[in-house]
Structure 1
């Protein structure tokens, strides 16, 4: 059975999944540490998610990462949820426990905020933050922004009701009265000028749709920090637009690396070789990304 002996099988469940660089990153880490594990990508359609989780149990797979569109739905199929993931309401890492139970975690938010603070030196308590999107990634990021001292967050989403749902969840977590919502259509130049940190949390602009942007950034303040969690391509059309408006940009690679490193440590109990993982991903992105 997979999972016995020297090496275990780990992987990523998403739909679609062909664009992901997670297998490259994790397998490079295993090789660097001399571990016999393997990491594979599994394209799982939404209606097959329950069967896919059952397969983890049957095959003895050591754990999987979970990406769009499964981060919220997968919770119902697990045995246990980490407290942080429970608050966020989304899981991106599932670990098979020694007794065979499947436990869900969320490393997205922590990975993102670690990267943001390290690369931009932003002062979260004084920042006026615009969060674009209201899905699983936005939830994780929002919770960790509040955990690290953010005081003022506005959530903008194409569907206003989903933004309002996330607003309630963040307010329940923090008790902050300074969380607001609006639709993307309401974001005009005047409103954009109110923000000092803009964070894009949707897959818009991800390879192969690399020319797409979530909105126009005309009207932002000079030196606004604009962050995109999309890492493929590394320099998205959204970030190029931000640069043309005089913004400070924060690329998605840092979040991808740190959330992956945190997941690696959950899977193996070992410290992740982050520089090895980064080198492998950057080299692939420079070659044009995953084809």
Structure 2
């Protein structure tokens, strides 16, 4: 019995690709704060192989999973029970294996973004004009948490306008939300501009007008890397007063996952600082 109690609890992140995931390092740093014994690994999963990988990890004694692209929709479908925020997001990034054998699915992405904005960056969302670029899964997951902070207006800008308008209609009961194409942004200015497109991965920037940023505006890219993203570089040249990448969001969504699994929320600022230093 003592051996069982002293064994490390098993957790992992599944996705493709995940070789360079920072999640194992993040959760190891979290566990040190509470002296929890965990083992957290990154598992590369082949396309179409998520259900099998999940079942194998669970059978081997796994307690929980983080799920990243491209398997968040698969995780959503495989969960027996869903949190309210997972239902709204239509995707799952956190799985907890329950003692009764069921699978609980949650989504911590939106909470992670809002926590990074309001706590780490000390940006008030209330009464601000917020622009979100993109209308994919990453954006869908953050709309309700942003709107619950009562911005004056939230605009979704997307290449395919109909996709953005579908999201705006779906989330309209949470607050004032509109959608438009990138070409319709000319003449409009925003306090917070969040890039939720995959353009940065391709070294590109969405086609944005030059005078997009209001005074004291924040430009935020949900992507992160060792250097500034193309969107961050563009924002610096076009009037954004503050610029941030998504590393804080990554750590904050991880902290929310840790809370789902362990019942305690880790301190995050020291972990973000350690990752910035390459630690």
TM-score normalized with structure 2 length: 0.87
Are positions 1:11 and 2:27 aligned together?
A: no
Q: What's the counterpart of residue 181 of structure 1?
A: 179
> 1:269, CA displacement in angstroms?
2.4
Partner residue of 1:235 out of 228, 235, 239: 228
SS in 1 for 2:277: helix
Q: For residues 99 and 234 of structure 1, what CA distance do their matches in structure 2 show? A: 45
Instruction: Tell me if structure 2 keeps the 8 A contact 1:195–1:224.
Output: yes
Instruction: Tell me if structure 2 keeps the 8 A contact 1:217–1:245.
Output: no
Q: What's the counterpart of residue 127 of structure 2?
A: 126
> 1:145, CA displacement in angstroms?
0.9
Q: What's the counterpart of residue 149 of structure 1?
A: 150
Q: For residues 162 and 233 of structure 1, what CA distance do their matches in structure 2 show? A: 31
Q: For residues 150 and 53 of structure 1, what CA distance do their matches in structure 2 show? A: 38
Are positions 1:194 and 2:189 aligned together?
A: yes
SS in 2 for 1:125: coil
Q: Could you say which structure has the higher strand fraction?
A: 2
SS in 2 for 1:226: strand
RMSD of aligned Cα (Å): 2.3
SS in 2 for 1:47: coil
Moved more, 28-37 or 143-152: 28-37
Change (3 A) 1:16 1:277: same
SS in 1 for 2:49: helix
Moved more, 252-261 or 264-273: 264-273
Instruction: Tell me if structure 2 keeps the 8 A contact 1:230–1:236.
Output: yes
Instruction: Tell me if structure 1 keeps the 8 A contact 2:120–2:269.
Output: no
TM-score normalized with structure 1 length: 0.84
Change (3 A) 1:19 1:159: farther
Instruction: Tell me if structure 1 keeps the 8 A contact 2:211–2:239.
Output: no
> 1:62, CA displacement in angstroms?
0.9
* Structure 2 gaps, min length 5: none
Partner residue of 1:278 out of 269, 272, 278: 272
Q: What's the counterpart of residue 109 of structure 2?
A: 108
> 1:257, CA displacement in angstroms?
1.4
Q: How does 1:32-51 map to 2 (within 5 A)?
A: 32-51=33-52
Give per-residue Cα distances to partners, 1:30-49, cap 9 Å, x unaligned: 24543321111122234112
Give per-residue Cα distances to partners, 1:107-144, cap 9 Å, x unaligned: 11111111112344444232221111122221221100
Q: For residues 70 and 24 of structure 1, what CA distance do their matches in structure 2 show? A: 21
SS in 2 for 1:281: helix
Instruction: Tell me if structure 2 keeps the 8 A contact 1:63–1:93.
Output: yes
Give per-residue Cα distances to partners, 1:148-179, cap 9 Å, x unaligned: 112411112233332223222212x42x4x32
Q: How does 1:76-87 map to 2 (within 5 A)?
A: 76-87=77-88
Q: Greater relative contact order: 1 or 2 (C-alpha under 8 angstroms, separation 6 or more)?
A: 1
* Structure 1 gaps, min length 5: 286-291
